């Protein structure tokens, strides 16, 4: 029983307040009262009249001979417990549980099965690409940070070996931190650069166009066939991110926060990150590798005009390539409803040990 899933609701039963299931599932009987099921034998099934009539798709019961005892189900159950079991149901009286039913409880209490990002979050979590900010919470609306996005991509790339100390590359990054190897890898491969020669800003909030730029670089900065963007707010997309956004939209990695808006400077949250990550994983893109020693990535300053070589962090991630990947929300527009709202903790928790998993 997967309690993470919403009820498979179909049509309302006639003259009832109950809904039938939308799909039919097969039930296989392996044993009866502890004995192997004999398909040639005749069994008597005691049930309520709803199920006996084929309710909830138990159609097999409806074609069998049935006898209506006229007894109320609740009364029969209570009489049995009080008269036959002495008022107490124990393993000795009623048998040990057979362990045939497994209850799957929600992994994250803040990720509803009906949310647009549910499948992506659970896939990213089950594949080890992301974890929660705690044992029971995912914080889908919390902003992603620069450290989080590179950690996610590093995991997707298989966490290749890196050499050196991250503090030797960026003074604001700590050796041995949960993001250390990811930042080293991202810097070596040109997926991101720092805000300047010595600063990475691991806790900086990631914007949608910066997310697009980073994804674009991860994918190899391929040529964009149709760079024209039809979003009403397309003029708000930084020049360095236009090709990136166009690529992400064209490839299906990202979409707008609505049918007409991309919200380039809006924050990218964890739910969006999970969505684009799962989409990227399905594209079979070869992970980037470190360039030759004489190769250096140079990034154009983001909208904020941050120092050139920097990889524009959450706020201007675009760097490396003049037209870093555009960051359309990974989340589908119609559903991108809360995309930019993930301003919740602005990713402050991201830098904590637990957040690492969140990445």
Q: Is 97 domain-assigned? A: no
What domain range includes position 185?
A: 118-358
With the C-alpha atoms ordered 120, 125, 131, 133, is the resulting torsion angle positive or negative?
positive
How confident is the model at residue 334, as a pLDDT?
Answer: 36
Is a pLDDT exceeding 50 seen at residue 124? yes
Residues 154 and 60 in one domain: no
Contact 255, 339 (CB under 8 A): no
Residues 175 and 300 in one domain: yes
Q: Is 347 domain-assigned? A: yes
Q: Is 217 domain-assigned? A: yes
> Of all residues in the chain, what percent carry a pLDDT higher than 70?
77
Q: Is 325 domain-assigned? A: yes
Residues 192 and 266 in one domain: yes
How confident is the model at residue 122, as a pLDDT?
Answer: 94
The last residue of one of the domains, among 47, 76, 105, is 76
The answer to pTM > 0.75 is no
Residues 62 and 122 in one domain: no
Q: Is 83 domain-assigned? A: no
The last residue of one of the domains, among 76, 103, 129, is 76
Residue 30 binned pLDDT confidence (cut-offs 50, 70, 90): confident
- CA angle, residues 247, 251, 256, in degrees to nearest 5: 75
Residues 208 and 131 in one domain: yes
Residues 72 and 123 in one domain: no
Average pLDDT, the chain: 79
Residues 72 and 127 in one domain: no
Count the domains in the chain. 2
- Calpha distance 46→52 (Å, rounded): 9
Q: Is 223 domain-assigned? A: yes
**35-36 and 9-12 beta bridge pairing:** unpaired
9-13, 30-34, 36-40, 319-323 — which one is most confidently predicted on average? Answer: 36-40
What 3 state SS string does 10-74 have?
A: EEECCCCCCEEECCCCCCCCCEECCEECCCCCCCCCCCCHHHHCCHHHCHHHHCCCCCCCCCCHH
Residues 122 and 70 in one domain: no
- Calpha distance 306→316 (Å, rounded): 7
Residues 205 and 316 in one domain: yes
Q: Is 87 domain-assigned? A: no
Residues 311 and 188 in one domain: yes
Q: Is 2 domain-assigned? A: no
Contacts of residue 76, Cβ cutoff 8 Å, sequence gap at least 6: none
pLDDT one-digit tens code per residue, 284-298: 899 999 866 654 444
The last residue of one of the domains, among 23, 50, 76, is 76
How confident is the model at residue 330, as a pLDDT?
Answer: 40
> Of all residues in the chain, what percent carry a pLDDT higher than 90?
46
What is the enclosing helix (H) or strand (E) of 345? none
DSSP 9: E
Residues 35 and 163 in one domain: no
Residue 328 binned pLDDT confidence (cut-offs 50, 70, 90): very low
Residues 133 and 270 in one domain: yes
């Amino acid at each position: 029983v997967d309690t993470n899933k919403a009820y498979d609701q179909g049509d309302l039963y006639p003259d009832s307040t109950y809904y039938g299931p939308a799909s039919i599932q097969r039930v296989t009987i392996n044993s009866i009262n502890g004995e192997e099921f004999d398909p040639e034998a005749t069994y008597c099934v005691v049930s309520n009249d709803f199920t006996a009539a084929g309710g909830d798709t138990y159609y097999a019961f409806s074609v069998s001979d049935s006898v209506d005892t006229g007894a109320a189900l609740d009364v029969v159950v209570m009489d049995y417990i009080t008269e036959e079991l002495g008022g107490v149901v124990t393993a000795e009286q009623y048998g040990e549980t057979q362990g045939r039913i497994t209850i799957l409880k929600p992994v994250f209490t803040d990720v509803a099965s009906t949310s647009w990002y549910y499948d992506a979050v659970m896939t990213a979590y089950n594949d080890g690409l992301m974890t929660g900010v705690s044992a029971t919470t995912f914080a889908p609306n919390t902003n992603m940070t620069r450290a989080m996005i590179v950690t996610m991509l590093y995991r997707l790339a298989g966490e290749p070996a890196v050499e050196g100390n991250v503090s030797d590359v960026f003074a604001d990054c700590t050796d041995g931190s949960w993001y250390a190897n990811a930042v080293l890898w991202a810097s070596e491969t040109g997926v991101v650069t720092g805000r300047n020669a010595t600063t990475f800003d691991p806790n900086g909030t990631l914007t949608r166009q910066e997310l697009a730029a980073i994804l674009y670089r991860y994918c190899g900065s391929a040529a964009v066939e149709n760079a024209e963007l039809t979003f009403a707010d397309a003029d708000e997309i930084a020049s360095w991110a236009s090709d990136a956004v166009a690529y992400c939209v064209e490839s299906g990695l990202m979409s707008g926060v609505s049918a007409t808006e991309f919200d380039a400077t809006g924050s990218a949250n964890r739910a969006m990150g999970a969505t684009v990550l799962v989409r990227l994983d399905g594209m079979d893109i070869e992970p980037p590798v470190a360039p030759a020693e004489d190769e250096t990535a140079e990034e154009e300053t983001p909208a904020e005009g941050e120092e050139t070589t920097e990889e524009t962090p959450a706020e201007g991630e675009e760097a490396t390539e003049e037209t870093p990947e555009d960051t359309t929300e990974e989340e589908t527009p119609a559903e991108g409803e809360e995309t930019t709202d993930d301003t919740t903790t602005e990713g402050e928790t991201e830098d904590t040990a637990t957040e690492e998993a969140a990445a």
